[in-house]
Chains A and B, each alone.
Chain A
Amino acid sequence: MTTTHTPRPSTLLVPEARPAAEPAPASVPLARALGAGLRDAMAADPKVVLLGEDVGRLGGVFRVTDGLQEEFGEARVIDSPLSESGIVGAAIGLAMRGYRPVCEIQFDGFVYPAFDQIVTQLSRLHQRSAGHLRMAVTIRIPYGGGIHAVEHHSESPEAYFAHTPGLRLLTPSTSADAYLLLRQAIACDDPVIFFEPKRRYWERGPLTAPEDPPPPMERARVARPGTDVTLIAYGPTVRTCLDAASAAAADGRSVEVVDLRSLAPLDWPTLADSVRRTGRAVVVHEAVVTAGLGAEIAARLTEECFYHLEAPVGRVGGYHAPYPAARLEQEYLPDLDRVLDAVDRAFRY
């Protein structure tokens, strides 16, 4: 995919983070919305710098940073070596001196070499400096499967980071949220791991969210209201769940879909409110089910909504095996049938 970057003036100010410089196109691919978010963040704040493998001259392997080095120069869009620990370590050092680095980790599985810097340094340096240091670092990670890639290029490592105090985790499912959440992540003084659903990069949607002012980044979104069961999804599985809800409607079931948007912290009030209304919940993610976010959500909803639940909270996700190569991935990824089966199970109690 090639795109032509058109420089345009920005009047954006954080935290409004609304693309207002010119009429937004009716619909843009999610990857383009991310690029627009990066571009406007860089235009609004000279301390925003990009750092990563192939982000500059190439514009990123998914072309999210396309045109940015041309526009902002090599000092602000920095091509790094293959050196994930070095990229995140350097970003930490930059943040210590007032920069707002945005790192790109080329593929989900490539974050593991940087795990140490993220978990032992980035997440806790604000506290380990008694508040002196602000870790305004955003780490963008294209994640999840569905693009016919192999393991380490198709993984969903979010639970490792959700377990770590001091990190914020965001993941958009729409173009509007891709733009908005990325602007909010970059403006945030805390470290943010920003998970991008790579198989949705080419799906189109409006660049502007309907809410004005836009919701805070910790807020979950009811993507489709319903009354009988709540599907809790994020990133790439939101679309899957919306499709499942449409299919279930044909069977006379009213399915609510909640898009988490923020994986850390989780928006418990929105979740609890939905589940108290519907009485049933199924969590759907690509990541391995075992000790995944679904486990945390199921446990907490059981504690908070026990007397409202008609059935145990269900989970649909990846199997406890390394992500399989392309021919098997459609078996591995939660699809419409597996989600609808889980909904059926929730009605058997």
Chain B
Amino acid sequence: MALSPEVLAEMYRRMLRIRLFEESAQALKTEGVIPGSIHLSIGQEAEIVGACMAVERRDYMLGNHRSHGHPIGKGAALAPLMAELLGRRTGVNQGKGGSMHLADFSVGSLGESSIVGSGIPVAAGAALAAQLRGEDRVCLCFFGDGASNEGMFHEGLNLAAIWHLPVIYLCENNGYGATTSAREVVAVTDIADRAAGYGIPGEIVDGQDVVAVHEVVTRAVERARRGEGPTLVEAKTYRYDNHAFGLHIENYRTTEEREQWLRRDPIPLLRDRLVADGVLSDDAAKTVEDEARAEVAAAVDFARTSPFPEPAEAFDHLFTVPLPARTAG
């Protein structure tokens, strides 16, 4: 199925938004205005956008610790995300979640967490809700190679398989859990092979090719909507930055390996393809780039000028109703 020029251009736009958002986050972190650590998606934009654009806005999505890109991939506005990174009250989490809780619920996100693998059984539950309601919504669950070693991976995939739940488990295999190579700690070469243990399809896709990811995930979504159950998709990808920005530890990867992956940077890869295929002219591509740059700059301005939460707001939303005064504290 050939994608329309509009869809391809939108893919490029969303990938650029992620890249530029992340580059701004790098600069703001260096400047010291972002608290805590940030885990950047630079290099992984194609698998994020390819997967997110294969589902609809009404479909659910769960992220992880490296999840700035996921809400952007699903079409979220940038300003509340950037404000959250800066810990401002206007952020998607009112400035109390920060980088690893960048979920935008308005685009179907059901949350992000730094507990690796924690979203995997939760995704099964959200999909079970869709099944019980008789809806044809699906749930797209992102996690990494490291999460595929966690017990929750097994429990979640098993539940989804036995109940034929409409979930797309998308493993973003970027080759490393922090600084440990997946080759050393994952018992199989291809994580997609683990699907066999649950009797579900496992697919491998080039994570640097947004169109290929879109095609594979679309197939998985169609299966899920037909009630045929979950699919495990493994996107082979790479993060160009450290595990967390500023770690400055690169002794676990070779320069040659990084350069090899940089040659397949998904953004120029797509741009060149769109220009070569006549989908976008050079000028049109430039316009998309200028617009994305302006959007990110506006998001940074919004975030910088937003207020911080008051200390007492740390207690907000601890419970759905404030505890009676006689018991609080």
Interface residues of A (CB under 8 A from B): 49, 75, 80-81, 83, 85-86, 88-99, 101, 113, 116-117, 120-121, 125-134, 165-166, 168, 188-190, 216, 218, 262, 265-269
Contact = CB atoms under 8 A, between A and B. Distances in A.
Interface of B: 60, 92-94, 96-97, 101, 103, 105, 110-111, 113, 115, 118, 120-130, 132-133, 139, 151-152, 155-156, 158-159, 162, 316-321, 323-324, 326-329
A89 B118 contact: yes
Given A90-B159, A92-B122, A121-B113, A85 B327 contact: no
B133 A127 contact: no
A96 B320 contact: no
A152 B103 CA distance: 37
B110 A120 contact: no
Given A120-B118, A121-B113, A218-B324, A93 B317 contact: no
Given A128-B101, A129-B105, A86 B159 contact: yes
B152 A94 contact: no
A93 B159 CA distance: 12
19 contacts: A75-B132, A90-B124, A90-B159, A93-B110, A93-B122, A93-B125, A93-B139, A96-B110, A97-B126, A121-B111, A121-B113, A121-B122, A128-B96, A128-B101, A128-B111, A130-B96, A133-B111, A188-B320, A216-B324
Given A96-B129, A130-B92, A267 B159 contact: no
Contacts of A98: 129
A132 B101 CA distance: 13
Contact of B121 (A93, A129, A130, A262): A93
Contacts of B118: 89, 116-117, 120-121
Contacts of B162: 81
Given A89-B125, A94-B128, A96-B60, 16 more contacts: A83-B158, A86-B155, A86-B159, A96-B110, A117-B122, A120-B113, A120-B115, A121-B113, A121-B122, A127-B318, A128-B96, A128-B97, A128-B113, A130-B97, A133-B111, A268-B327
B121 A89 contact: yes
B323 to A, nearest CB: 5
Nearest to A266: B327
- Smallest CB-CB A-B distances: 8 pairs: A93-B125, A89-B121, A97-B129, A86-B155, A90-B125, A93-B126, A189-B320, A265-B327
B152 A265 contact: no
A141 B323 CA distance: 23
A134 B245 CA distance: 33
A130 B101 CA distance: 10
Contacts of A267: 326-327
Given A97-B133, A128-B101, A132-B105, A190 B319 contact: yes
B319 A96 contact: no
A207 B329 CA distance: 32
A248 to B, nearest CB: 29
Contacts of B133: 97
A93 B139 CA distance: 10
A267 B118 CA distance: 33
Contacts of A133: 105, 110-111
B198 to A, nearest CB: 12
A49 B328 CA distance: 30
A114 B239 CA distance: 31
Contacts of A189: 320-321
Contacts of A91: 125
Contact of A126 (B115, B129, B151, B320): B320
B152 A85 contact: yes
A83 B152 CA distance: 9
A177 B184 CA distance: 54
B137 to A, nearest CB: 9
Given A93-B127, A132-B105, A125 B111 contact: yes
B121 A269 contact: no
Given A83-B158, A121-B115, A94 B125 contact: yes
Given A81-B159, A83-B155, A265-B323, A126 B317 contact: yes
B129 A93 contact: yes
Contact of B155 (A89, A166, A216): A89
Nearest to B100: A128
Which of A129, A168, A262 has the most chain B CB within a 10 Å cutoff? A129
B320 A90 contact: no
A86 B121 contact: yes
Contacts of B326: 218, 267-269
A331 to B, nearest CB: 35
A91 to B, nearest CB: 6
Nearest to A97: B129
Contacts of B328: 265
B105 to A, nearest CB: 4
